[in-house]
Amino acid sequence: MHTIDIDREPVELFKILKFEGLVDSGAQAKLVIADGYVSVNGEVETRKRRKMLNGDVISVGGEEFVLKLV
């Protein structure tokens, strides 16, 4: 599992995917979320603006990422 450091919370889900380079653009982030390719804390998440908090786990592309507030 990989760690993604965040400096504030909440952070919108699509922004995390975009800024961490997990997708190529914000538009692509919104598409993969809407199409059901992203899970948060073990459940499929289709809300692109889902508010993410410290300790949340994102699964995308077969990899898991945990958010850590720094």
Chain position carrying tokens 């400096």: 7
**Domain residue extents for the chain:** 2-69
- pLDDT at residue number 65: 97
Confidence band for 12, pLDDT divided at 50, 70 and 90: very high
CATH number, span 2-69: 3.10.290.10
Radius of gyration of the chain from its Cα atoms, rounded to whole angstroms: 11
Pick from 13, 20, 53: nearest CA to 34: 13
pLDDT tens digit sequence for 19-41: 999 999 999 999 999 999 999 99
| Residue 16 DSSP SS3 | helix
- pLDDT at residue number 23: 94
